[in-house]
Amino acid sequence: VTGCWVGDCFLYTNGSNRLNYCVGSEIATMFHLDRPLFILGYLPKENRLYCVDKDSAVVTFQVLLAVLEYKTAVVRGDLETASSIMPRIPPSEHNKLARFLESQGLREEAMALATDPDFKCELAIALGRLETAVEYARQSPSELKWSQLAGLATTKGDFVLAEECMRECRDHAGLLTLGAARGDSTTLAGIAGDSLGAGKMNVSFLCNFMLNQLDQCIDILVSGGRFAEAAVFARTYKPSRATEVVELWKSDLRKAGDVRVADSIADPTSHPHLFPDFADSLNAEKEAVQMNAQRQALSAGSYPMYKDQVGVDQVAEMMGKAAIGNGVGHGGEPGNGIQMDEEPVALSSKEAPYEGEEAPNGEAAHAGDDSLAV
């Protein structure tokens, strides 16, 4: 290791073949050497550092004295002196000094000195100057810049600009969040198509699911080879396509050699006894389609009026209505369409009143009955 002092700056070479400088506690690499060199000295008038290798070959490096003095003043915190030195430094060194200032935490001064648009955009983002950052990003666009700007715009509440930035960097997940938060079906429909074209099937699936495009959801799962998930989804949300998807699933299993597994899978058409409520599911699907068609024209502000209908089990609701319509009303009269406050309870013979005792309605109970429907 060899070195020399230039004012308050120490220049030295190390065992890693690097020419470094040290100003205060700041250590930085100036040049990477291709072989071990030894420092002979520095000539301020020439702005040159002279070194020699083992073969006595002399090598020189340009090291501007004004740059060393500027960095020394900055490290000392004497920005006034540093500003007075700046006119002596050529513009070609300004961007390097701007990065040095950033490393010292002086982003405002670095912003004023930087010449590289990319670096100025980074500094503007770090300083929270949204409009300035957008201006530089449009001059030299890149996916990373737009992604950083999208985060900054979202933080500052400028969602219009945030959406523009997300579209530029193809942040489909971010656009999904914005569209869902606004209840913007048009935006979600556009994202569904764009994300599917970009191969982001998860985002496309979520968009279609929120838009109630159940057929598209099934098609996405099938196109991705997720036949099992598609079959379960169809059975839950689109029972009319359950048989179709199950056949695709079984066909895929047979191609993979899992014939026994494929033969063990039941579908509602071939095994109706295993799906006793399947007909009710089909009727519920038709009712859901009509209900959704009526809601298409509703705005997101109408949600409080319909929030109680969210998550309703339509099959159970239909079966409940049918039971009420065919059941027995109060006073022993046949079904009158009035919903009972409590479910019918069947009492066993042990729980029934003994013969001769008076029932609550004033009628005598019969000891021979096994149960009594209330």
CB 280 within 8 A of CB 239: no
Q: Which two tokens stand for residue 144?
A: 């990373």
pLDDT of residue 370: 36
Taking the whole predicted model, whether its pTM rises above 0.85 is answered as: no
CB 269 within 8 A of CB 277: no
CA 356 to chain centre: 72
Q: Answer with the residue of higher pLDDT: 350 or 197.
A: 197
Asked if pLDDT for residue 359 goes beyond 80, the answer is no
Segment 105-128 shows an average pLDDT of: 89
Place of tokens 């009420």: 324
Lowest mean pLDDT among 24-28, 112-116, 136-140, 357-361: 357-361
Asked if pLDDT for residue 232 goes beyond 60, the answer is yes
- Tell me the pLDDT band of 221, cut-offs 50, 70 and 90: very high
pLDDT in tens, 39-73: 999 998 888 999 999 988 999 998 888 988 898 88
pLDDT in tens, 293-310: 777 777 767 778 877 777
Strands 9-13 and 3-6: antiparallel
Q: Answer with the residue of higher pLDDT: 199 or 373.
A: 199
- Residues near 166 by Cβ (< 8 Å), separated by ≥ 6? 146, 150, 174, 175, 178
Mean pLDDT of the chain: 81
Asked if pLDDT for residue 219 goes beyond 90, the answer is yes
CA 185 to chain centre: 18
pLDDT of residue 57: 92
Alpha helix segments (H runs only) across the chain = 65-76, 79-85, 94-103, 107-113, 117-127, 130-139, 143-155, 159-168, 172-182, 185-197, 201-210, 214-223, 227-237, 242-255, 259-263, 278-295, 303-306, 314-326
pLDDT in tens, 124-144: 988 988 888 988 888 888 888
